[in-house]
Amino acid sequence: MAEPEIAQKSPFVCEEEARTVAWCACGRSANQPYCDGAHSREKTGLSPIVVTLDEAKTVAWCGCKQSGNAPYCDGTHSTL
């Protein structure tokens, strides 16, 4: 299995509506922080994390792909 690529060393802070999203876990998506299927094309062995948001809210999605609380930012990027 490939290691995730660091998409950015800060969270993706997004205003989200109530919906289901697939968070990119591999770091290769061109549509960060959301999955665009790059993990399959590049055969990374990594899969997105699917999240259902029940209400509109601000979400800090992990950008470094190293969070211990994936798909959410836990500040790990500050140690990279």
Token pair for 16: 């989200």
Give one word for 21, left, alpha or beta, with left for phi > 0 and alpha for psi -120 to 50: beta
pLDDT tens figures, 3-29: 999 999 999 999 999 999 999 999 999
Per-residue pLDDT band for 1 (boundaries 50, 70, 90) equals confident
At which residue do the structure tokens 């299927």 appear?
Answer: 37
Token pair for 69: 């609380």
pTM, full prediction = 0.93
Measured between alpha carbons, how far is residue 38 from residues 7, 15, 18, 26, 47 in Å?
A: 13, 24, 25, 8, 10
